[in-house]
Amino acid sequence: MAAGRGRVILKTVKEIIVQFCPFESNVRGAREFLAAVGTEKARLTNSNCRIVADVKHDEMEPVIAVTF
């Protein structure tokens, strides 16, 4: 996965799971990452990549798990 100036390539990625609580103050990075990999242009680089957004209210730290 490569990122730089708005360019995301998901060629070697099988699955991305982003988990966060939207009410916590430290989720900005997770939300921005999810927005970047969720664009149509990024998704077209690998149509088999599964992107899961798990939003829950459990006051846990944000987690981003990438499976290659």
The boundaries of the domain holding residue 26 are 22-67
Q: Within a domain: residue 1?
A: no
Q: Within a domain: residue 43?
A: yes
Whether 16 contacts 51, CB under 8 Å:
yes
Mean pLDDT over residues 40-53, rounded? 95
Of the chain, the percentage scoring pLDDT greater than 90 comes to 81
pLDDT above 50 (res 31): yes
pLDDT band at 3 (very low <50, low <70, confident <90, very high): very low
Q: Within a domain: residue 10?
A: no
Please give the full DSSP string across 18-30, using - where no structure is assigned.
Answer: EEE-TTSTT-HHH
**Whole-prediction pTM value?**
0.84
Nearest to 30 by CA among 16, 44, 48, 40: 16
Q: Within a domain: residue 5?
A: no
Q: Within a domain: residue 45?
A: yes
Number of domains within the chain: 1
How far is CA 3 from each of CA 23, 34, 51, 54, rounded to the nearest angstrom?
27, 13, 16, 22
Whether 36 contacts 30, CB under 8 Å:
no
Q: Within a domain: residue 30?
A: yes
pLDDT value at residue 35: 94
